[in-house]
Amino acid sequence: MIRRRAISFLALACALCLSDVALAERGFERAITSALPRSVKLYGLKVGQQVGYGTGTIVSADGYVLTVYTLLLESSKLRIVTADGTRYRGELVTFDREEQLALIKMKSAMAGDSAIGSLPYFDIACVESDGTSCEPELLPGDWVVAAGNPFKIAEGAEPASVAHGVYSARTRLDARRKVKEFPYHGDVLVIDAVTSNPGAPGSPLVNLDGEFVGVIGRLVVSNLTHTKFNYAIPRDVLREFLVRAMSAGGSDASATVSAGRGSDFTRVDSGIRVTRTGYMRLPPFVDRVRRGSPAAKAGIRKDDLILSVNGHSVPDLASYDKRMDRIASDEPVDLVIQRKKRVITVRLLPDGKAKKR
């Protein structure tokens, strides 16, 4: 009798295990089906060890894409490739230096300049009927799936790579990139999926219900463990980024960006790239100037030292970034620069017509 009961309990346990496996399989299928068509492959500028490819997450039907901020987005030939292989021109709309997030916009398709249709997207800004946000529940131990383009494995209609893992905890990020402290110290979702690979940052992360829970963050090394750290920026942090960036009109996801006065965001339109390799308090030396940009037309050169922005002293990169981030796209910029022993004042105008004074 005891043996028969033991066999019965074993058979019941096996049946429950098989049921859980079947549920998990359906969940993974649901997650992959949700993530793949809403992730895009990005191709742009390659500088030094910075790769020229990455991943983005579609957040509106009319082509707004959320991703992490990297130099590849500064390319004048930014290319966005959707899951079906359609190629679009891309434009960097705005970014946040502290959170290292960026919003880009699909322009017309590269083949035939056809208009953008209605794209599948994650509605990050959605709210319930009572006004609360549509925040999916994510508990430690839950499975998660990320869909991205690590190592440039897909360039056309090839499917993005899928990584799965388990969500562990929500914590504050304390990390670095090479020898520099990583500027974002906010909340992150810790996962054990191996996503810390070139090209993967910007990938959407979803649960087994296919619900969007975050975006894979930039490649960093934990200051605590001194190892690569696999994490995602949580959905609520991303939503706040979009809310700060949206205008009154809005797209289908209310993600149309306002880069107006008083915003913490700025368009990359001056053409100045400062040296960022070195210590935290490195002075803002010009590393390169984008051809045809307002800075190039003003005669700004490599190795010029920027002393002030709009009358405010900028002794280091942090103060330079702070001042530049407060400038609207239609606002002139007055720079005082030092070139060898000369001090020059330059005004950068929105239309690219700069004046030396």
pLDDT at 321 over 90: no
pLDDT tens, residue by residue, 159-180: 889 999 999 999 999 999 988 8
pLDDT at 271: 78
Asked if the 143-148+157-235 domain carries CATH number 2.40.10.10, the reply is yes
Cβ atoms < 10 Å from Cβ of 275: 15
- Sequence spans of domains, the chain: 143-148+157-235, 272-356
Quote the pLDDT of residue 256.
37
Q: Do domains 143-148+157-235 and 272-356 have the same CATH topology?
A: no
Name 90's bridge partners.
Answer: 106
Average pLDDT over residues 212-218: 96
- Per-residue pLDDT band at 354 (split at 50, 70, 90): low
- Residue for token pair 């209605």: 118
Q: Is 80 exceeded by the pLDDT of residue 351?
A: no
Amino acid in position 285: F
For residue range 242-299, what is the model confidence (pLDDT) as tens digits? 877 664 334 444 433 333 323 334 444 577 878 765 444 678 889 888 888 888 888 8
Burial of 69 (0-12, 13-18, 19+ CB in 10 A): buried
Confidence band, pLDDT 50/70/90 cuts, at residue 8: low
**Residue 152 DSSP one-character state:** G
Strand 286-289, strand 312-313: pairing: unpaired
Partners of 339 in the beta sheet?
342
Ranking 97-101, 123-127, 342-346 by mean pLDDT, the lowest is: 123-127
Rounded-to-5 percentages of helix, strand, coil across the chain: 20, 35, 50
Q: Which two tokens stand for residue 141?
A: 């131990």
Answer yes or no: are the C-beta atoms of 208 and 166 closer than 8 Å. Answer: no
In order, the DSSP letters of 285-348 are: BEEEE-TTSHHHHTT--TTPEEEEETTEE--SHHHHHHHHTT--TTS-EEEEEEETTEEEEEEE
Q: Answer yes or no: pTM beyond 0.85.
A: no
Confidence (pLDDT) at 1: 47
pLDDT classification of 154: cutoffs 50, 70, 90: confident
Rounded to whole angstroms, the Cα distance separating 43 from 77 reads 8
pLDDT digits (tens, 9 = 90+) for 32-56: 999 999 999 999 887 666 788 999 9
State mean pLDDT over 329-351.
86
When comparing pLDDT for 7 and 31, which is higher? 31
Whether the per-residue pLDDT at 195 is higher than 70: the answer is yes
The fourth-level CATH superfamily of domain 272-356 is PDZ domain (2.30.42.10)
Amino acid identity of 100? Q
How much is the average pLDDT of 3-15?
A: 53
Give pLDDT, residue 116: 74
Taking all residues of the chain, what is their mean pLDDT, rounded to a whole number?
81
Residue 254 to residue 310: CA distance in whole angstroms: 32
Tokens for 223, please give them: 């200051």
